[in-house]
Structure 1
Amino acid sequence: MRSQPSQDGDGVKIQRIHDFGGGLDPFLMLDELGSDSPDDYLGGFPSHPHRGIQTLTYVLHGGLTHEDHLGHTSTIRAGDAQWMHTGRGIVHSEMPLTDSRGLHGFQMWLNLPARDKLSPATYRDVRSDEMPHLIGQDADLIALGGRWRATDGEAVEGPLNALAGNGAVGHARLAAGGVLNLETADETLAIYVFEGTLTVADDTVAAGQLARLEEGQTLLLRSEDGAQCLILAGTPHREAIAHYGPFVMNDMREIEQALSDYRDGTFTGQ
């Protein structure tokens, strides 16, 4: 699956992969924001609503400032992440910041199970020094969330431990000749390469591609010239998905209710 150019917010240019049909369940979407031209992103994402999902935003260069109706105000910079459990509803904005290398980051959407779609909204940011590293051969994995185990038995757990669907997200970095060997038992397992070329088992995955892997296989990553990727893992909800703009529910009646609640001002009622 290859990422496709798109725009969101106030004209922000992104590369997007999405599957609202359940093929990456519990994940729904992965956006890559990356440019050294401020005109591509400085419009940012002005105030907008969400219901029924979690978002995880991770920044490699530049930064993002978050504000929401709950009173949270936070800025994340290179290496930091922010997690938002939208539940019943949250209204927020995300405005980009730049550094000498421009802006480069990711936002993932995770679907909430039906039982949690109308739960209270919450927010958390995580700093880079809170994220443990799992070390390979000229390679490492930064654990944003979930538990990760190397084949030699070493294990780490990322600070974001409440991702929907027992979700786990890791950032793998391989130098030239690097090798990272992980044990996995997740039914949903996918790798998005965003720099270089990666050999996953016997398959080659290039930058801008997402590979969906088989359940429970040993995950052997190698790169001849160096590469970076995100690894996504989790347990599917196996529930119906209804999607409209920033809302993800289980049927269109619930989508219509979300639209009505947003119009009449009851959207964020807890």
Structure 2
Amino acid sequence: MTHSPARQVVSVVRSQPSQDGDGVKIKRIHDFGGGIDPFLMLDELGSDQPDEYIGGFPPHPHRGIQTLTYVIHGGLTHEDHMGHSSTINAGDAQWMHTGRGIVHSEMPLTDHHGLHAFQLWLSLAAKDKLSEATYRDVRATEMPHLQGEGAKLIALGGKWHAIEPQQDVAGPLDALAGDGGLAHVILEPGGRLLLEQESPMLAVYVFAGELEIGEQRIPAGHLVRLGDGQQLPLSSEAGAQALLLSGTPHQEPIAHYGPFVMNTQDELEQALNDYRSGRLTG
């Protein structure tokens, strides 16, 4: 067995209630200061009350980021100015590389559990901020799994390695900014999973139950950032679910206003002017 050091918890942040789009209630964690670089933001949409999300996200612009949307229950329908129109349901994901500009909408669908989904923002490197916009759906059947002791990891993007038993998987989303990775971990009561992950940035967002990272217990609604090391021991007495975020920080300045994320204030002003004049997607 490998004896590489375990990654220690260096910070814990609680998600905060917010709303976006047409009054959609969300739990949000945002860090535009580089703490979870290349990630910028994580929104959790979750409710069994349709009036808290049914307004959805009418047409709006983006520049300079990637978005990754993952559905647990319900669904979302995407449309954009490039003519894409598609729907993702439970277990599916959407990836959008906004590049120099995209205008899109996301409208919610429900199942008997209501709606539960996540959207994460990743900052594009400076060299890619004005690249061509593109879009991709990923179905649940395309996502490989790791199996542990009463545990499962679903790989959306990035490479993931389990130590016990030895397993490797790579998620189908292989073009996430900053070598980004995302995985969904499900632990049954008493479940355990020992991972080895050397990405410079590694964070865990717990969204159901209570997760133990080594000796530290993390309740739902909290994001944990981990320090240097390789091993990531996960367990839960009563069961838990979490998202794992990994990546290599860009270590570039960030200028942010609403749906635009650039590197300088001048670039941000240009994005606003381009949107107002209709040149954002030109």
The normalised TM-score by structure 1 is: 0.99
Structure 2: gaps of 5 or more residues? 1-12
Q: Residue 86 of structure 1 aligns with which residue?
A: 98
Please give the per-residue CA displacement for 1:193-251, whole angstroms capped at 9, x wherever unaligned: 00000000121110000010112330000000000000000000000000000000001
Distance, in Å, in 2 between the alignment partners of 1:63 and 1:38 is: 13
Letter of the 1:266 counterpart: R
2:144 to 132, 146, 150: 132
Q: Residue 39 of structure 1 aligns with which residue?
A: 51
Give % identity: 70
Following TM superposition, by how much is the alpha carbon of 1:87 offset from its aligned partner in structure 2, in angstroms?
A: 0.3
2:40 to 20, 28, 31: 28
Distance, in Å, in 2 between the alignment partners of 1:73 and 1:195 is: 31
Instruction: Tell me the C-alpha RMSD between the 2 structures.
Output: 0.6
1:157 to 167, 170, 189: 170
Please give the per-residue CA displacement for 1:139-191, whole angstroms capped at 9, x wherever unaligned: 01000001101114310010000000000000000000000110010110000
Letter of the 1:186 counterpart: S
Letter of the 1:213 counterpart: L
Q: Secondary structure at the match of 2:68?
A: strand
Q: Residue 241 of structure 1 aligns with which residue?
A: 254
Letter of the 2:251 counterpart: R
Letter of the 2:155 counterpart: A
CA contact (8 A) 1:56 1:109 kept: yes
Letter of the 1:88 counterpart: R
Corresponding position: 1:213 with 2:206: no
Q: Secondary structure at the match of 1:88?
A: coil
2:268 to 247, 255, 262: 255
Q: Residue 208 of structure 2 aligns with which residue?
A: 195
Letter of the 1:75 counterpart: T
The normalised TM-score by structure 2 is: 0.95
1:100 to 99, 107, 112: 112
Following TM superposition, by how much is the alpha carbon of 1:260 offset from its aligned partner in structure 2, in angstroms?
A: 0.4
Letter of the 2:108 counterpart: P
Q: Secondary structure at the match of 2:112?
A: coil
Corresponding position: 1:51 with 2:37: no
Q: Secondary structure at the match of 2:279?
A: coil
CA contact (8 A) 1:186 1:216 kept: no
Q: Secondary structure at the match of 2:271?
A: helix
CA contact (8 A) 1:170 1:230 kept: yes
Q: Residue 67 of structure 1 aligns with which residue?
A: 79
Q: Secondary structure at the match of 1:259?
A: helix
